[in-house]
Chain A
Amino acid sequence: MKGCFIAWATDDATRKRGGSGGFVSAALAAALDSKLVDNVLVLKKTSPYKATPIVTNDPKEVLECAGSFHFVSVNMAQYVPSGRVALPAKPCDARGVIERAKRGQLDLDDVYMLGLNCGGSLHPKKAKKMVEEMYNLDPDAVTGEEILKGELILKTADGGKALKIDDLEEKGYGRRESCRYCETKIPRMADIACGNWGLPADKVGKTTFVEVITNKGEEIFKNAVDTGYVEFEPASDKAIELRDKIEKVMKGLAEKWHKRLFEPIEKLSDSDRLAFYVDALSSCIGCGACRKACPVCACGDNAKCLIEGNSDYKIPLFLMVRLLHLMDSCIGCGRCEDVCPVGIPLTLIHRKFAERMQNKLGYVPGINLDKPPYFEGELGEDS
């Protein structure tokens, strides 16, 4: 049963609550119901701008959590509990999960990832400000949000308002910076990839385009159908083509953003680039938030990057070591930048270092269980 389908929750309430036919929530609930997994990790929305990852074994609670949610910057990888578990996973969640599996933090065989296509998410704090400044709405009046055809639509009790994401981003709002240049839009490293890309116009909002990728994906999809939680039909060739086309457009946009953000640094002379790094990184106050938020880091409280340097270092030892350790493993999720209290463009800098190494090695972290090259015995060629 691998391949592409159009699927939806059979339960009307879930189907309505879900952003796109409620398939993901229904399949997660079904997995719990038939004890395919012990737990489900989902985001529980506590306000339009806040969601908390919860681990639950109650199918009802899972279904209540259904719904599209873009104002979030959490990475789910760190919250995966032990035992058999299913979770919805954006590409960076899925990649984080895989990197943590490499570091012995979880067993990938136990984790069912229902991937979510992702064009990017918004930082909740910035989103709130955007609602006021750009939409001229009371942030608390927003009841829902949806991204469709390049527009961010905010729903309120008395209707809604749509603005072009491009315009929002030109004004400094919109998606998190790392999302803009992220080129992983469909999480093919997950067990199933779900989204609304490729759906025919009449099915948008009512169904989910589902690609079943792995055996585990097959298991969870089949279970959802067998238990009656989900119904499906095959995806037409046209739908598949359309999805590919959208992915391509999204990737193209990401490339443009990449160029726009990275080229200015690349163009700098050695000394100017160093000045840029020193200037940015020396404002670090050493709070360690970036490390704690990093889904790849599994080093705990005795991480080597915590070894003390001197206060007169031009770049804190902490960041130097992190830059090095993440050169092969940074997945570009953007969490470090999200949480930095002094606003260091950390993800951008990490990516700059990581891309150099990852391109050289032809290594992409978070897509399979290949060992990080830093821990390899040797790199390809010999001296």
Chain B
Amino acid sequence: MTEFEPKIVAFCCNWCSYAGADLAGVSRMQYPPNVRIIKVMCSGRIDPLFVLMSFLEGADAVLITGCHIGDCHYIDANHKTKNRFEFLKEMVAELGIGEERLRLEWISATEGEKFAGMVRETVEKIKKIGPSPLRPKVMQ
């Protein structure tokens, strides 16, 4: 049987974390091909609905990423991201699907290694704990 390959959805903001992911590429930092990036202008645009839907669709992990607190291109919009993340975190904990599956990381445009490292780490961790129990039956 082939090894389980996690499917990871990463939401990135245009100004910082997407650029950080770009820099990881420019610097040829290698990480496994399990992540799918969805770009929004600001992490504040990441509707918790998108995160919940990602899990229901079968994501084994969801990464919410944005500019560091204080560096947000939209003044303090990422504070709201943090707030919503707290709700999602509790929700994931109560559902019991494994808190490791949801992660919030602030990644600046210059932190390519942080982006690459986050993906590597998450893939490794999720491979250990296995597919999300919320994966639809067809996928399993």
| Interface positions of A (Cβ within 8 A of B) | 268-274, 277, 304, 307, 309-310, 312-315, 317, 320-321, 323-324, 327-328, 352-353, 356-357, 360, 373-374, 376-379, 382-383
Contact = CB atoms under 8 A, between A and B. Distances in A.
A313 B135 CA distance: 8
Contact of B56 (A314, A327, A352, A356): A314
B138 A312 contact: yes
Contacts of B136: 310, 312-314
Contacts of B47: 304
A265 B18 CA distance: 40
Contact of B87 (A270, A273, A327): A327
Interface stretch (B9-17, B33-41, B95-103, B118-126): B95-103
A271 B134 CA distance: 11
Given A274-B97, A313-B57, A353-B94, 15 more contacts: A273-B95, A312-B137, A312-B138, A315-B134, A317-B53, A324-B88, A327-B87, A327-B90, A353-B90, A356-B94, A357-B87, A374-B84, A377-B76, A382-B69, A382-B82
B56 A320 contact: yes
Contact of B91 (A312, A314, A353, A377): A353
A377 B79 contact: yes
B98 to A, nearest CB: 7
A274 B133 CA distance: 8
A297 B76 CA distance: 28
Contact of B90 (A312, A317, A360): A360
Contact of A374 (B87, B95, B97, B134): B87
A161 to B, nearest CB: 43
Contacts of A324: 48-49, 52, 87-88, 91
Interface of B: 47-49, 52-53, 56-57, 69, 76, 79-80, 82-84, 86-88, 90-91, 93-98, 104, 106, 133-138
A383 to B, nearest CB: 6
Contacts of A307: 49
Given A377-B79, A378-B82, A310 B57 contact: yes
A85 to B, nearest CB: 33
B87 A377 contact: no
Contact of B96 (A270, A321, A377, A379): A270
B57 A383 contact: no
Contacts of A356: 90, 93-94
B83 A379 contact: yes
A151 B93 CA distance: 41
B56 A373 contact: no
Contacts of B104: 383
A328 B48 CA distance: 14
A277 B95 contact: yes
B12 to A, nearest CB: 18
A317 B56 contact: yes
Given A309-B56, A315-B134, A321-B49, A383 B83 contact: no
Nearest to B136: A312
Q: Sort A-B residue pairs by CB-CB distance and give the 9 closest, nearest first.
A: A270-B96, A312-B136, A378-B79, A313-B56, A274-B96, A273-B96, A320-B52, A357-B90, A353-B94
17 contacts: A268-B96, A269-B96, A273-B96, A274-B96, A274-B133, A277-B95, A307-B49, A309-B56, A314-B135, A315-B134, A320-B56, A324-B48, A324-B91, A374-B84, A376-B83, A378-B76, A383-B69
Contacts of A323: 91
A272 B13 CA distance: 36
Contacts of B138: 312
Nearest to A314: B134
Contacts of B97: 270, 274
Nearest to A359: B90
Contacts of A313: 56-57, 136
Contact of B98 (A270, A317, A353, A377): A270
B49 A315 contact: no
Contacts of A270: 96-98
Nearest to A374: B87
Nearest to A315: B56
Contact of A271 (B49, B57, B87, B133): B133
